[in-house]
Amino acid sequence: MIKAVFLDFDGTVFSHSSVSIPASAYKAIDRLREKGIKVFLCTGRAPAEFKDFDLRDLHIDGRILSNGQMVLDRNDEIIYEKPVEGELKDRIITLFKKKSFPMYMVTRDDIYLNDVNETVYEVQDAVSSGIPRIKEYEGENIYMASAFFNKKEDIETIYELEKIAEITWWHQGAVDIVPKGISKADGISKVCQVYGIKQEETLGIGDGENDVGMLKHCAISIAMGNASPSLKQIADYVTDDIDDDGLYNALKHYQLI
C-alpha cells in the first residue's frame, strides 16, 4: 500500500510550455491527500526559487529541496538539512569567487550569482525563473551550487570535482553540484523516518537526470512521457507527457486516485 508520493517539480508538476501547473495535477494531488496519502515535492529547486511560483493552491505535505540537501514540512519548517562542507565547500567557493564562468550558490533563504551571461538568461528562462541577484559570498551555509556553461573547458573544470561531488545536468547549459553520494533519495529516507513510512510504501515520479536516485529508491518508479530516455529505462512505468495529464494518468494507472 502506497503511503507517500514524491514528485519532481519541473516537468512533472510544473509545465514550462504552458508556464503553469496542469489542472489535472492539482486534482491528482488533492485526491491523493483525501485518501490519506502524503505528497511531497522532491526537487533540485532551492527554497528561494519558489518565490517565482504561485503555489497557494498546491496542497502538499512538504518539500525535499536542493536534490536532497534540505527537507521542509508543510509549514516550511526544516526537518533535515545538510550543508555542503569540507573540501567541496572550499572548492565551490574558490570557483565562485574566481568568476571564470557563472555559478550560483544556494543558501537557506537566498540564491545568488557571481556573474551573468547569455547562457544564464537562456537557462533561467527555460525553467520559468528569474535571474538570481549577483552577490559576494559572505560566509552563509551552502546547500548546493549550480554552474552555467558555454565552453568545453568550463565543463572540464567542474568535472574535476567529480570524486567529491555529484554533478547532474538539469539543462544542456547547466549542472547542479552536491556532495558525493547525495541524491533525492537521502531526503526521501529522512521523510520516511520522520513520518514512519516504509520504503515499500513509496512512489516517485520524475523526468530528469537528478531523479535517478529518487526512482531507484522508491518502491514504484514512474517516468513522465517527457522524461529523458535514460530515466525511462529505469522506471517501472512510463506515463504521458506533462501536458497530456501525465501525472494524473500515472496515479490513475496505479489506482491511487
CATH code, domain carrying 211 = 3.40.50.1000
pLDDT tier, 207 (very low <50, low <70, confident <90, very high otherwise): very high
User: Do 72 and 100 share a domain, yes or no?
Assistant: no
Same domain, 75 and 193: yes
Q: Are residues 68 and 95 in the same domain?
A: no
90 and 75 housed in the same domain: no
Total domains in the fold of the chain:
2
Is the domain of 51 the same as that of 102? Answer: no
> Do both 150 and 203 map to the same domain?
no
pLDDT, tens digit, for every residue of 87-102? 999 999 999 999 999 9
Q: Where are the beta strands (DSSP E) in the chain?
A: 4-7, 38-42, 62-65, 70-73, 78-81, 103-106, 111-113, 133-134, 144-148, 165-171, 174-179, 202-206, 220-223, 237-238
Q: Which of 126, 153, 179 is at the close of a domain?
A: 179
Domain holding 97, by residue range, is: 86-179
Q: Which three cell numbers stand for residue 246?
A: 501525465
Same domain, 173 and 95: yes
Quote the pLDDT of residue 217: 97
Does one domain contain both 119 and 192?
A: no
pLDDT score of 172: 87
Q: What is the mean pLDDT of residues 195-210?
A: 96
Write down the pLDDT at residue 151.
83
Contacts of 54 (CB under 8 A, 6+ apart): none
Residues 32 and 19 in one domain: yes
Banded model confidence at residue 51, pLDDT cuts 50, 70, 90: confident
CATH (domain of 101):
3.30.1240.10
Q: Are residues 42 and 166 in the same domain?
A: no
CA-based torsion, 25, 61, 219, 206: positive or negative: positive
Q: Average pLDDT of the chain?
A: 95
Residues 123 and 188 in one domain: no
**172 and 98 fall within a common domain:** yes
Stated pTM of the model: 0.93
